[in-house]
Amino acid sequence: MLYARRPGHQSQFSPVLSAQARGDSPFADLIGWIQANLHAPLDVPALAARAGLTERSFHRKFTAATGQSPAHFVEALRLDAARMLLSRGLSLKQVSAQVGLFPTARFSRLFQRRFGITPGTYGEMHRVEA
């Protein structure tokens, strides 16, 4: 899956785009799998097992390849996906479930910390009519 530049109101930074820019990431398949499974538990032990590495080796190699720890990378993907879902008019509860950030209060806190705006306000400001 390739990503194009985002519409004007969205940040151009994306952890996936950054990882793709490196081109030779040994974790390209894993990153695609993570994106398809944001709703699932995505902790280091599960990701390391999927990559066929020990947890320590996975953490070190993934951080070197992407520039972020696995936990920060997954959180960034989840929050970026949440922005897109909010702009489509989904409720906070629906978005929280689809991106795997529970409970909804935790999702709201992480979203506001990253983007400086509450998810509800973001959804109202950036809602795209279907």
pLDDT at 56 over 80: yes
- Domain of 80, in residue numbers: 26-126
Residue 2, domain member (yes or no): no
CA separation for the pair 70, 59 (Å, rounded): 7
pLDDT given for residue 2 in this prediction? 42
Joined tokens for residue 3: 């990503």
Structure confidence by residue, pLDDT tens digits, 3-15: 444 454 555 456 6
Residue 15, domain member (yes or no): no
Residue 19, domain member (yes or no): no
Torsion of CA 81, 82, 85, 86, to 10 degrees: -150
Structure confidence by residue, pLDDT tens digits, 71-118: 999 999 999 999 999 999 999 999 999 999 999 999 999 999 999 999
Q: Which CATH number characterizes residue 61's domain?
A: 1.10.10.60
Residue 17, domain member (yes or no): no
Residue 90, domain member (yes or no): yes
CA 48 to chain centre: 18
Reference 84, options 6, 17, 18, 28; nearest CA is 6
Taking the model in full, what pTM does it have?
Answer: 0.83
Residue 4, domain member (yes or no): no
Domain count, the chain: 1
Residue 18, domain member (yes or no): no
pLDDT at 21 over 90: no
